[in-house]
Amino acid sequence: MGGNVRAVVQRVSQAKVDVAGQTVGAIQQGLCVLLSVGQGDGETDLRYIVDKIAGLRIFADGDGKMNWDVTQVSGAILLISQFTLHGDVRRGKRPGFTDAMAPDAARVWVDRCADALRAQGIEVAQGIFGADMQVSLTNDGPVTILLDSHKTF
């Protein structure tokens, strides 16, 4: 396994992340993205996940249909690194994380993802990599989409 980036994308009316009792990132309407980078992820994975996140048509258009992406509603993204999305529980009940990218490399990768989203004109707030974070949000809909750069779901 490994070699794939995973994301849980939630359409939100607001989201924030606190570290040590201080808000370090907050958005109003937009997307809360929990992102996990796998061993061996590369440029293709980065382009895939950025294009999918930026282009997800999960916001209501004028007719109430999910046709608009985050840019069309002037939304923002709260991007949270969450290596536990690579937790493997196929053998037993305690997750193994061997498929997750090593922290130093993953930190660079997550920042590159945020920069690539910003380059598309999207406001991006982030948590603090490796910190004990408390994420709170209001899932609008609720709408939640799972992404995997190897398209396994």
Closest by Cα among 69, 99, 71, 74 to 84: 99
Active site (annotated) includes residue 82: yes
Tokens coding 23: 């808000």
Active site (annotated) includes residue 97: no
> Which member of 84, 97, 134, 144 is catalytic?
84
Active site (annotated) includes residue 84: yes
SS3 state of residue 6 = strand
Q: Tokens 């937009």 label which residue?
A: 30
Q: At what angle do helices 43-55 and 103-119 cross, to 10 degrees?
A: 50
| Dist CA 4 CA 134 (whole Å) | 25
One-letter identity of residue 105: A
Q: Tokens 């994380």 label which residue?
A: 97
- Give 46's contacts (C-beta < 8 A, 6+ positions apart): 5, 109, 112, 113, 116
> Which member of 10, 59, 82, 126 is catalytic?
82
Residues annotated as catalytic are 82-84
